[in-house]
Structure 1
Amino acid sequence: MTLRQLRYFAVLGQELNYRRAAEKLFITQPALSTAIKQLEQHFGVVLFRRNTREVALTDLGAAWLPQVQQALSGVDAVVDNLVMLSGTRRGVLRVGYLIGTGADLLFRLVRHFEAAYPDVTVEPIEFDFADPTAGLADGTTEVAIIRPPVDLPEHRMLILDSESWVACLPRDHRLSGRTEISITELLDDPIVCAPLTAGTWRDYWLAMDVRGHRPPTIAAVAATYEAETTAIARGLGISFTIVGRPALRPARHRLHPRQRPPAEPHRTRLEARQPDAAGRRPGSAGPGTVEHRRAGTGVITEVYE
């Protein structure tokens, strides 16, 4: 049993919905389902009743939930105290950020942090789409501003801001003159995507969750916004991205998504490492997150250059 499994149980026990719990934890639903099953199998118990319509705590799960919540609160408090007592708020703090992700927000945070902790030197490091965790996965950075979903269960996170999904089209695209377009109308279009190393993050921006059995046609692989915009300007394909990004080339249109009412916010986050069951050292700074909302299968609106 790990702290990660306990945190997953606590969030699912509160939300009683796999989709909402996964989004709150910034992981995929299959990853959450697997972790809960492993926890149940480890103890030989059933903590949730599941069917196609709902998720509910069993009597055992309901009795255990407040105890787990109390234990997790105690762990977080102990970790915070360890950071304070160990004097780790000195030295260098490496802050990663995904290219084009909240750069203005990052530098505001850096200025405030350096004013509050003058003994800490902040080193911002930019990452391209090949590593959507911005260095957190391999320990290159301690804190990062990123856009989920990524599989980083041993991290704490906090929402900082919100962004909207958009679809980017070449100027001469067949739908560029429309004022409303459903995502499903674009699923057969060739698409520009991130490298395979981006994993679940790549799948998300390929809209794999709404494709069903319709595999995407990959038009080009791009690790940077510049490569992505160049491929779309050449008419190779489309892409899905966010509103808050660098200016687009003249040969492109972009479309704002109108959010589907049942859809939950999708979050981009600034997050910091925290110890797992093996007692890893936490990051030196507090956690944070940037949120953006996805249209899902809803309607994308407001076409403009």
Structure 2
Amino acid sequence: MRQLRYAVVLGEELNYRRAADRLFITQPALSTAIKQLERQLDVVLFARNTREVSLTEVGAAWLPTAREALQHVDAAVDQLVALAHPGAGRIRLGYLIGTGADLLFRMVRHFEIAHPEITVEATEFDFSDPTAGLADGTVELALIRPPVDLPRHRVHVVDSEHWVACLPRDHRLAGRNEVEIGELLDEPIVAAPDTAGSWREHWLAMDARGGRAPTIAATAATYEAETTYVARGLGISFTTEACARLYERPGVVYVPITGRPSSDTALVWDPGLLTREGDLFVRHVQQNWGSDGLEEH
């Protein structure tokens, strides 16, 4: 089980450092576990070289099945805990990297004080899955930044922010107090992975381009990678005020963008799949955060 879980996380991250960080283990320990699994099953799941990790054809075909199997195991554990301790429970909450990060932990602490019998397990997802685990059922609730393609899901907005441009420090517009979106559309841009779908297009400002294709300078699944590419001068990126606060880096500056709608941070869930504990969390957030809530952001 441990080896399967390690393989799934590495398959999602395709980066030993990020996978090891998610698993709270060292990179050598992760590498050893993956090699043991491949040797035991006489299969190669990952292709490796000095620069990157990728899934083999077998690994890519197997990954969804392995992920689903682990979800069933986790569900069985949840059921066992619920049967053994009827008053206890837990919630799987996903959150998109950088999305409401300063808000998320206040929200979780506030809830767990009100409901000490329930544990909230928060899991971070990168830009490759902007639904933060909702699309494949890894989590039952997620704090994300719409729009995403989840037609059955409900949305409760908890915060709104302005767009900002992440620019190289020596960029011609870096000294401006603000910049209009039209001034940035011809710039090479760092984009989210293709798997982000319509969310990727939203953060490329495709609606403002009049059908013109953007010049993609690089692809990044995390803010660390994104800001590194920008600092190197490969391109610019679009993000939000919160990320400008949380991801200050040498070599980049953030400039507010005019001519864009605000970006919402929202709690999202499928009402048909919500557990009792999840429903309590939703109600708690609705009462304390958002347009009808009490909490100030």
Check whether TM > 0.5: yes
Residue 150 of structure 1, CA deviation: 0.2
User: 1:19-30 maps to which residues of 2 (within 5 A)?
Assistant: none
Q: How much has 1:176 moved relative to structure 2? A: 2.2
Superposition deviation, residue 117 in structure 1 = 2.1
Q: 1:94 to 1:286 in 2, by over 3 A?
A: same
Change (3 A) 1:229 1:203: same
Residue 200 of structure 2 is aligned to residue 208 of structure 1? no
- From 227, 238, 241, the equivalent of 1:240 is 238
1:158 corresponds in structure 2 to: 156
Contact persistence 2:218–2:229 (CA under 8 A): yes
Q: % of aligned pairs identical?
A: 60
Decide which of 268, 272, 277 is 2:269's aligned counterpart: 272
Tell me, in whole angstroms, the C-alpha distance in 1 between the residues paired with 2:177 and 2:124: 35
Show the 5 A alignment for 1:31-50.
none
Secondary structure at the counterpart of residue 227 of structure 2: helix
Residue equivalent to 2:282: 286
- Give the C-alpha shift of residue 257 in structure 1: 2.7
Aligned equivalents of 1:97, 1:177: Cα separation in 2: 33
Structure 1: give runs of 5+ residues left out of the alignment: 1-87, 292-305
Note if contact 1:190-1:238 (Cα within 8 Å) is conserved in structure 2.
yes
2:218 pairs with one of 215, 220, 234: 220
Structure 1 length-normalised TM: 0.60
CA contact (8 A) 1:145 1:270 kept: yes
1:223-266 deviations in Å (ceiling 9; x for gaps): 000000000000000000001122322211211134x5xx7543
Q: Which residue of 1 aligns with 2:75?
A: none
Corresponding residue for 2:128? Answer: 130
Letter in 2 for 1:273: D
CA displacement at 1:174 relative to structure 2? 2.3
For normalisation by structure 2, the TM-score amounts to 0.61
Match of 1:254 in 2: 254
Structure with greater helix percent: 2
Distance 1:254 1:264, change over 3 A: closer
- Residue 108 of structure 1: aligned partner: 106
Distance (whole Å) between structure 2 residues aligned to residue 144 and residue 185 of structure 1:
34
- Equivalent residue of 2:143, what SS? strand
Contact 2:161 2:262 survives alignment (8 Å): no
Tell me the number of residue pairs that the alignment of Structure 1 and Structure 2 aligns: 198
Aligned-pair Cα RMSD in Å: 2.4
Q: 1: distance between equivalents of 2:195 and 2:216?
A: 15
**What is residue 147 of structure 1 aligned with on the other side?**
145
1:90-122 superposed Cα distances (whole Å, 9 cap, x missing partner): 422001111111122111111121122222211
2:99/2:143 contact within 8 Å kept: yes
Instruction: Give the distance between the partners of 1:127 and 1:187, measured in 2 at CA.
Output: 28
